[in-house]
Every structure is written in C-alpha cells, then in structure tokens.
Chains A and B, each alone.
Chain A
Amino acid sequence: MERIVLPQIENLHQIDVYLANHGFEAARKAFSLSTDDIIDQVKKSGLRGRGGAAFSTGLKWSFMPKTTDKPKYLCINGDESEPGSFKDRQIFEFNPFQLIEGAIISCYAIGAKVAYLYIRGEYHKWINLMQNAVDIAYERGFLGEKMKETFGTSFSCDLFIHKGAGAYICGEESSLMNSIEGKRPYPRVKPPFPAQNGLWGNPTTINNVETITNIPPIIRNGWEWFSKIGAPKHPGTILFGVSGHVNKPGVYELPSGTLLTEIIENYAGGVLGGKKIKCVIPGGSSMPPLRGDQIEGVRMDAESLKEVGSAIGTGGIMVMDEDTNLLDVLIRITHFYHHESCGQCTPCREGVGWMEKALKRIKAGLGTSKDLDLLCDVANHIEGNTVCALGDAAAWPVKFMITRFRDEFEMYVNKNVVIPVPNKVHSMRDTSIPLASIEK
C-alpha cells in the first residue's frame, strides 16, 4: 500500500534524502504550468481538506481573486488542537520538506508571496524541527529570493512559522488569522470569507497541514493517479490517529474508505484486553460518536460517515471499551469546550457552561431524565447560533452521545423523583412516580 503523506523512507526529514526521493520535482513541474492549470488539477484530483470540513481544496483555491492589487496570503493550519487528533506533528517530524514544497506550489497557484505556518504553542519540539527545515530550505535556495534562481522562475515566496499559545479556538480559520494579526483571536463573522477578506483584509487561503502535504504528489503524479486512491468521493490517503482503549495507538496512513473495524482490529491491534467496543468517536472529540454495535461496515471517508450520522473531522479515532463510563467522558468533553469557548457568542459561552453543570449534577446523583432532555435542548439552541463552529462542536457530542446512548444515560439518572406538576388538579400531591411514565 502506497503512502503519500508519510512515505516509509528512512531519514526523509533530511533534505538530501528528500531530494533523492523526487524532492522538489513537483515544484519544478508546477512552475512550468499555469496557475489555472494547477488549480484545475487539484480540483480534478478530488482532494478535500483534511482539517475537518472536508471541503474541496481546488475549489477553495479558485475563490481567490485573480485580479487584485492587494497582497495575497496562504495560511497553513497546524494548530491541531482537536482532542484525539495528533497527525500533523508526524508531518513536522518525518516529512517537513514535502510540506514546504506543498506550500511553495500552493503559494504559486494562488499567487501568494507569503505563507504563514501556524503551529500550536505546545509543540515546541516540532516547531524547532520545522523551523530547522525551513532554515535549510532557505539556505539551499528553495524559499525566498534564491528560489528564483533554483527553479528558474520569476516567482518567489516566503514561509514563516507562527507559534500559537494554547488556544483551541485558534484552529478555526478566522480566529487563526486574528491570532496571526496579533489581535484577540475571536472568530470573525462570515461572509466575507478569507478569500475576500483574510489576513489584514487581504485575500487569503487557509489549508490544513495534511492537505498542503498532499499537493506535491498530486502535481508530480497527476490528478488521475490521486483520484483513484481510496473512496471516489473523498480520494487519497488519510492520516488516522487512533487513541483510547486500543493495543497499538498511533497514526496510520490508510486509503480513505478503509473500514473502521479494520483500522481498529488490524492496525491499532484491537481493543485492550479483548473487550467489546462501547463507543467510537471517528473524527476527533467534536464529531458525533458512534455506538460500538453499529460500527460494522462503516467506512472512513466523509460521505460514508455522513450516511451513518457522523463526520470524518480530523480522522482522530477515539475508541472506548465496554467498561467506559460515558458520563465521565461527556463531562470531560464538555468541560473542554467550556474552557476553550472564546466568550464571544452568548449561546456558546453560557450554554456550554450550563451543559457542564447539568452533567455534573447528574454525576452527583441529582439528575433526572428531564435533565437529559434539557441537555439536548440546550445543545440544540447552541448549534448554528454562534459565529464559528465551536458552538456546534460543543453541542454535537452532548446531543448525539445522549440520544445514541440514552439507555446508558438513563442509568445514571434518578428514576424516582419528586417533581411538581403545575396546572394539574393533583399538583399538591406527592408525585413520586417513575419518570419513565410521565409524558414530556
């Protein structure tokens, strides 16, 4: 099986090894093509963003205005703060030059002179590795003014690394741009989209690290080759990060459309202690979870996961075995989103806090079935009512975890509770009856 993003070549992070393995061939080829040609090829290849939304990369590039006096920018999103996602750091560590080459081709295609690579602040080690690679690329004439000579073209671009400082929200594209601009990183209202109004009000394209790393092989081998790998509607390979209760957690590069059960059983070595799976989150903690008894036959690509009511996200697969307390998991997830909410929109800032409180009330043994309905209700009121997708990201796990595992959550709540029933004749009576028999 061929690997595109993380090929099995020893010491590929060294520039000489990279050069000996088709390094910067794609960039050379790209400079002989027109920019429209490159965008067209990427579009036809079917490459879709690997950062979560799975949007067509070529289409995104084509949104960049062709005739403008403003400077254009490329942002590469390596914030990677979605819990369960740890794929980009493998690229920084093992294949940095392919990322740099991808950035050069992308800059050329969209007409950007400057690319900012945003890496989360916690990745000190990987920032240093990446900075080292960028310095070498400058030295060897693959970036900056010197690249004109190296590639024999009139085009040149710069690549700068911007270090984040520990905010989940900065993975959101407009928040990331505010972060680079040195503002408080609140997400921006869209439209206008980054292609019109991005960094410093200029046209900007923003792609995930893994997406950009896919570009050189596409240009080198042609779009037909790429479009035939994996699932037709979401082609290519995907870096799946498997974590949780598995024997061999780690990042596995596999063709899209690989069976979820195959990834867990064959690649990640099966569930710890041979236990059954209770729950799988297929794309990082904000994506709707799947029941363990419903993952048979589920394929890991954007379209297939949509059909079963989840999403590919960042490909971070979290596996939970049958002994997992899902209430604890949900409290932890909700606590995370409450902590990371930037505080700009009321539904998210307040709502996620309420959800956390309600869940903790259930944990304390004071919850009722009504609390479960309340949680779903609050989640529904957050979803779609915020500037950015963090609201949805916080709402989905709560909504889907409770609806899909209602049987388990019912076990955590009190069945016999005293609730006042207003506007009924017997409202003064003790209504200590099982809640299950009360209409909503």
Chain B
Amino acid sequence: MKFTFTEENLKRIEQVRKKYPTALAAVMPVIYIAQEQNGFISNEVMEEIANVLDIDKVNVLSVVTFYTMYHTKPMGKYHVQVCTNVSCMLRGAYEIFDLVKDKLGIENMQVTQDGKFSLEEVECMGACGGAPMIAINEDYYENLTKEKVEEILDSLK
C-alpha cells in the first residue's frame, strides 16, 4: 500500500529538519510523525521516509528496528504497556500483567481481534515511585491496584 505524508505533516517535517545540521538526524522525529499518521511503520512507510529526507532506506530500517517504541506491525487503538521491572515487580506488577492478559485475552505483543487493545510488557518507564504502573498509549497510570486496573480497562471499552 502506497504511503504519502499529509501536507500538514510535510510542513512539520520541514520544521523538524531545521533543528539538525544533517537530514539523517531528523530520522527519529520523522518516524514518529509517520507512525502517528499510519499507526505503524511498514516497508512502504520506511521508503517514503527515506524519500522525504533523501537518505538511504537502510538508515531508516536500522533505526526503526533498534527501538521498542517504533512498531513494525499494527497495534491496538489502546496500547497497554505494563512495566514489570524490579521496582514495579516488588509492588506486584506481574499480578497486574496477568490480570491484563486475562482480561484482554491476549499475550504479550498481541492485539485483540477487534483491534482495540494491544499489550506490551515494557521495561522501566521511570515511574518507580508510583509502582506498579501501566501506560496506555501516552498516558501514565500510577499507584495501581488490581481493582483500579480493571476500572481503567473497563472505562476504555
């Protein structure tokens, strides 16, 4: 499927380019813009990013595949990220992870059939003081209990 940036996003890319002396340096913010528009980074998207920035496609690929926040396949409308690193684990993060798995009926890095939810076990999100925590898309939910997690997930349905 062909991918092209919207007019508005092309303008944003132009703005981003000004922050850096080289085109290659703008690759990370541009991948973010592409992901925002397309939902995930496919081969076609990477090609278009390379075209827009006039860099090699392999440069885009090497960056996209390195980071965990760039998705190469579609994620759910609500991307639920459960931190299970030490501080959260000590406060019962695995119980919450299991609860979310049960509730959504999916495993780590899977998407529900209706495409509404996806689940990811993430590493430390920098919210150790509010452990256990989950993040849904861009929002943090801290100091959780099982009940609160259920409440949050129910409110999204």
Contact = CB atoms under 8 A, between A and B. Distances in A.
Contacts of B22: 181-182, 200
A160 interface: yes
A320 interface: yes
Given A182-B22, A200-B21, A243-B128, A336 B28 contact: no
Interface in B48-97: 55, 59, 62-63, 66-70, 84-87, 89-91
B86 A332 contact: yes
Give the interface size bracket for A toward B.
35 or more
Nearest to A252: B129
B75 to A, nearest CB: 13
Interface string B103-147: 000000000000000000011111111110001001110000000
A241 to B, nearest CB: 6
B149 interface: no
A165 B129 contact: no
A121 B29 CA distance: 10
Contact of A184 (B32, B63, B130, B135): B63
Given A81-B126, A250-B129, A244 B87 contact: yes
A85 B140 contact: no
B128 A336 contact: no
**Which of B19, B69, B90, B125 counts the most chain A CB atoms within 10 A?**
B90
A122 B87 contact: no
Contacts of A83: 85-87, 123-124, 128
A342 B131 CA distance: 27
Contacts of A88: 126
30 contacts: A71-B21, A81-B124, A83-B128, A84-B86, A84-B128, A85-B126, A86-B129, A122-B126, A125-B138, A164-B28, A165-B68, A166-B69, A166-B122, A167-B66, A181-B22, A184-B62, A185-B66, A200-B21, A200-B22, A243-B129, A244-B128, A249-B131, A251-B129, A318-B86, A318-B128, A324-B90, A332-B84, A333-B86, A336-B124, A342-B66
Interface of A: 71, 80-86, 88-89, 120-125, 160, 162-168, 179-185, 200, 241-245, 249-251, 281, 285, 316, 318, 320, 324, 328-329, 332-333, 336, 339-340, 342
Given A86-B127, A249-B128, 9 more contacts: A82-B124, A165-B67, A180-B25, A249-B130, A318-B86, A324-B90, A329-B86, A332-B86, A340-B123
